[in-house]
Amino acid sequence: MQIIKTNSLTKFFGTTAATDNISIQVELGEIYGFLGLNGAGKTTLIRMLLGMIKPNNGTVMLFDKELTSKFNQWNDIGYMVETPSAYPNLSVRENLMVYYKLRQLNNPLEIDFIIEKLKLSKYKDTKAKVLSMGNQQRLGLAKALMHRPKLLILDEPINGLDPEGIVEVRNLLKELSKNGSTIFLSSHILGEVAKVANRIGIVHEGKLIKELTSNELNDQLIKKVLVQTSDNARAIELLKSISHKVALSEDDDIEILDGKAIKQPENISKFLVEQGLPPRQVRLFTEDLEMFFLRTIRTKA
């Protein structure tokens, strides 16, 4: 079942298309990571998914129902968009209480459960206005999650969190997805999205330029074996003689680009030792996600 489906979703601000013909589909139980640089159009798309702004063109379907004024499944959706807002003079618990009433929930234990879950117990009586940014983010997530929605839509959920918080939120999202929730999250932090999402959409200047699963992403990252020896010119000749695809990098590393070497870099060491040219260093290089992202953007621009 498709939980989210957008069809050619387009939103103009003036003459700029903040989102340009974006069609995405998110299946039940998926964690979909929507990746893009600042200003790429992530928040705009999320605001349209939540009916906060109207598209100039295109449609949104949530739970197979078109998003119109008659849409009546808001209780199945939890969200956090941009900097989460809270009543500044109310404590964490009081803020959640307001939300509990707004959502018309009927199990007060949920409030303490979610406070505990988001590691906010120490701050439950602290006024929202004095919370750190990371804890405000946790409070925002608590509000999004308290009613146990089937679909969670989160705009930059790890903004402002410390490394420990990032790991906690990542684990929390994975747990929610394992229990059947569908999650759509936006981020510009590529490594994080890759760690949590099953599928990734890359948006740039309003356009969806690539969609891939996390396995496909892993396959598409450039990998190579980097080698250093005391005589790189000779090592290159030797490696070419046994059909390796070899080049010299700008940093004077020997780069071996073929799959055979990438799968078994230890054979490279063994070969060079046998040839009387023991390598000083052999290491497997994997392109990082920032590089992949920039490469993707450049090739599509």
Comparison of 36 and 165: residue with beta carbon closer to ligand ATP: 36
Quote the CA–CA distance of 153 and 183 in Å, as a whole number: 6
Piece in contact with ligand ATP (CB under 6 A), picked from 33-41, 93-101, 106-114, 219-227 = 33-41
Q: Which of 8, 13, 164, 213 binds ligand ATP (CB under 6 A)?
A: 13
Q: Which of 3, 4, 9, 18 binds ligand ATP (CB under 6 A)?
A: 18
Quote the CA–CA distance of 119 and 214 in Å, as a whole number: 29
> Considering the complex, what minimum distance in angstroms separates the CB of residue 34 from ligand ATP?
9
Piece in contact with ligand ATP (CB under 6 A), picked from 10-18, 136-144, 145-153, 270-278 = 10-18
> 123, 177, 121: which is closest to 145 by C-alpha?
177
Q: Can residue 16 be called a binding residue for ligand ATP (CB under 6 A)?
A: yes
> 168, 172, 166, 164: which is closest to 187 by C-alpha?
166
Comparison of 102 and 294: residue with beta carbon closer to ligand ATP: 294
Q: Can residue 159 be called a binding residue for ligand ATP (CB under 6 A)?
A: no
Contact 280, 228 (CB under 8 A): yes
Comparison of 36 and 265: residue with beta carbon closer to ligand ATP: 36
H/E stretch holding 286: strand 281-286
Q: Which of 41, 157, 201, 265 binds ligand ATP (CB under 6 A)?
A: 41
- Chain position carrying tokens 């996390």: 214
Q: Can residue 69 be called a binding residue for ligand ATP (CB under 6 A)?
A: no
- Chain position carrying tokens 């849409």: 71
Tell me which residues in 180-199 interact with ligand ATP (CB under 6 A). Answer: 188
Contact 152, 176 (CB under 8 A): yes
| Strands annotated E in 125-252 | 151-155, 182-187, 199-204, 207-213, 223-228, 246-248
Q: Which of 35, 40, 131, 225 binds ligand ATP (CB under 6 A)?
A: 40
> Considering the complex, what minimum distance in angstroms separates the CB of residue 206 from ligand ATP?
7
Q: Can residue 39 be called a binding residue for ligand ATP (CB under 6 A)?
A: yes
Quote the CA–CA distance of 169 and 281 in Å, as a whole number: 37
> Considering the complex, what minimum distance in angstroms separates the CB of residue 267 from ligand ATP?
44
Contact 242, 261 (CB under 8 A): no
Give contact residues for ligand ATP (rule: CB under 6 A).
Answer: 13, 16, 18, 36, 38-44, 188
